[in-house]
């Protein structure tokens, strides 16, 4: 027998040769337990309205939330994230509507926590859906005022907690807000309400469709670079995460997702706490468009979500949560 020395003795293809062995050696997996579905709420009755910039995603009036919540429950998605589309006449320079106990978020929280007590609900703490200028904070002398904004945010967080919110998610990027919110929650006996800090939130170009979905896009005249992070930076992300953990964050978010997998990985490796990723609206729209135009196939959804698991994310906020849950369920059949 002639032995051919010029061929490799290590053949990685041996562990790829059939489905069964690929399943045995696979290093990561995506389950429904990893998914968080964002839901947009609007005013009115009996309304399920599509969003042009986010095909496949709707805005629901509170009385129609059961339609989407039933799907969430049937797939056993652990948590939803609520976002309001606020009408123009309810917006002002100070985002006052954020503190109205009958605003869309409060109404939705009461409804969901009553009818779906086993599903977690997270809410953004930030003023952008409520301000006439579309910024996350209050403007004083043409600048976003950090400390004045926190005074409102802390009340927004307390109100959400009172209405039954399980996970308070400050997404405003003001300095020191996590500590103030944690203290206030504890003081008012909401010590079991968690904080998921959007610790690492970049001033990104991928938020466009979301801003349209919450109705802040046309209001926003300038960028958010004086409070959201510069996408050239990564060391700064560690400083943000370190501070937020010290201030009492239970989990941290990296946002957007796919352009920042390096950040997810290094935060996970260095801090060993639950890191959540937000596959934001622009990422969703691009993939959705590609699938619709048949430029890429539908499996790209799972591939994109798996990249977060590889990077070390514990969970992913994604507009694909229902599609992914369906795919995962079908795989198991
Ligand atoms: C606002 C907020 C934004 C998103 C979530 N919360 C947009 C922004 O900062 O302008 C973006 C989510 C997405 O694009 O899907 N605090």
The half-sphere exposure of 318 on its side-chain side, counting CA atoms within 13 A, is 31
Q: Is 319 close to ligand 1, i.e. is its CB under 6 Å away?
A: no
Average pLDDT, stretch 300-310? 98
Query: Is the C-beta atom of 128 inside 6 A of ligand 1?
Result: yes
207 Cβ below 6 A of ligand 1: yes
CATH code (residue 327): 3.20.20.70
| Residue 283 belongs to a domain | yes
What value does the mean pLDDT take over residues 2-12? 78
Q: Is 136 in the pocket of ligand 1 (CB under 6 A)?
A: yes
Quick one: pLDDT band at residue 333, thresholds 50, 70, 90? Answer: low
- Shortest-distance Cα residue to atom 11 of ligand 1: 207
Burial class (CB within 10 angstroms; exposed 0-12, middle 13-18, buried 19+) of 76: middle
Ligand 1: atom nearest CA of 134 is 10
Instruction: Kindly name the residue from 91, 201, 268, 288 that is annotated as catalytic.
Output: 201
**Ligand 1 mutation pick, 57, 128, 227, max ligand atoms within 8 A of CB:** 128
DSSP state letter for 15: G
Does the annotation mark 201 as catalytic?
yes
Ligand 1 lined by 281 (C-beta under 6 Å): yes
Q: Whose CA is nearest to atom 6 of ligand 1?
A: 171
Q: Residue 316 — pLDDT band, cuts 50, 70, 90?
A: very high
Per-residue pLDDT reduced to its tens digit, 215-243: 888 888 889 999 999 999 999 999 999 99
Question: What local confidence, expressed as pLDDT, does residue 5 receive?
Answer: 67
Q: Is 198 left (phi over 0), alpha (psi -120 to 50) or beta?
A: beta
Instruction: For residue 22, tell me if it sits in a domain.
Output: no
Query: What is the extent of the structural domain holding 114?
Result: 29-332
pLDDT value at position 27? 97
Whether 15 is in a domain gets the answer no
Residue 28 has pLDDT above 90, yes or no: yes
User: pLDDT at position 4, please?
Assistant: 63
Q: CB–CB of 136/128 below 8 Å?
A: yes
CA-CA-CA-CA torsion sign (202, 203, 205, 206): positive
Measured in residues, the chain has a length of 333
Residue 256 falls inside a structural domain: yes
DSSP annotation of 296: S
Residue 17 maps to a domain: no
Ligand 1 pocket member 34 (CB < 6 A)? no
Catalytic residue selected from 64, 91, 224, 255? 255
Give the total number of structural domains in the chain: 1
In a domain, 302, yes or no: yes
Rounded alpha-carbon distances, angstroms, from residue 75 to 2, 68, 119, 296, 333:
57, 11, 11, 26, 14
Does residue 171 have its Cβ closer than 6 Å to ligand 1?
Answer: yes
**How far is it, in rounded angstroms, from Cα 252 to Cα 315?**
11
Q: What is the mean pLDDT of the chain?
A: 96
Question: Where do we find the tokens 């004086």?
Answer: 226
Is the pLDDT reported for residue 150 higher than 80? yes
DSSP-assigned beta bridge partners for residue 283? none
Ligand 1 centroid from CA 14, angstroms: 44
Task: For residue 4, tell me if it sits in a domain.
Answer: no
What's the chain's Rg over C-alpha atoms? 21
Does the active-site annotation cover 52? Answer: no
Share of the chain above pLDDT 70, in %: 98
pLDDT at res. 2 = 66
Please check whether residue 23 lies inside any domain of the structure. no
Question: Beta 58-61 vs 48-50: how paired, if at all?
Answer: antiparallel
Please say whether the beta carbons of 218 and 211 come within 8 A: no
Model's pTM, two decimal places?
0.96
């Amino acid at each position: 027998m002639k032995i051919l020395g010029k061929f490799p003795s290590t053949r990685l293809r041996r562990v790829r040769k059939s489905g069964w062995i690929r399943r045995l050696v696979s290093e990561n997996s995506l389950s429904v337990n990893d998914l968080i579905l964002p839901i947009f709420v609007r005013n009115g009755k009996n309304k399920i309205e599509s969003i042009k910039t986010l095909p496949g995603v709707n805005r629901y009036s509170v009385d129609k939330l059961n339609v989407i919540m039933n799907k969430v429950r049937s797939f056993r998605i652990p948590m939803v994230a609520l976002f309001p589309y606020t009408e123009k006449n309810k917006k002002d320079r100070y985002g006052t509507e954020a503190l109205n106990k009958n605003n869309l978020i409060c109404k939705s929280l009461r409804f969901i926590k009553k009818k779906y007590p086993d599903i977690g609900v997270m809410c953004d703490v930030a003023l952008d859906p409520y301000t006439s200028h579309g910024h996350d904070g209050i403007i004083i002398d043409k600048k976003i005022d950090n400390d004045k904004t926190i005074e409102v945010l802390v009340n927004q967080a307390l109100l959400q907690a009172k209405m039954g919110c399980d996970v308070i998610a400050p997404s405003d990027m003001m300095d020191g807000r996590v500590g103030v919110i944690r203290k206030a929650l504890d003081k008012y006996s909401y010590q079991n309400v968690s904080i998921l800090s959007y610790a690492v939130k970049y001033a990104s170009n991928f938020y466009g469709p979301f801003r349209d979905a919450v109705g802040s896009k046309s209001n926003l005249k300038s960028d958010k670079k004086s409070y959201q992070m510069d996408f050239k930076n990564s060391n700064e992300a560690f400083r943000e995460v370190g501070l937020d953990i010290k201030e009492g964050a239970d989990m941290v978010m990296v946002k957007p997702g796919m352009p920042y997998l390096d950040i997810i990985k290094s935060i996970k490796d260095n801090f060993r706490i639950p890191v959540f990723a937000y596959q934001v609206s622009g990422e969703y729209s691009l993939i959705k468009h590609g699938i619709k135009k048949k430029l890429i196939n539908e499996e790209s959804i799972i591939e994109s979500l798996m990249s977060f698991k590889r990077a070390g994310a514990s969970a992913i906020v994604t507009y694909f949560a229902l599609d992914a849950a369906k795919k995962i369920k079908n795989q198991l059949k």
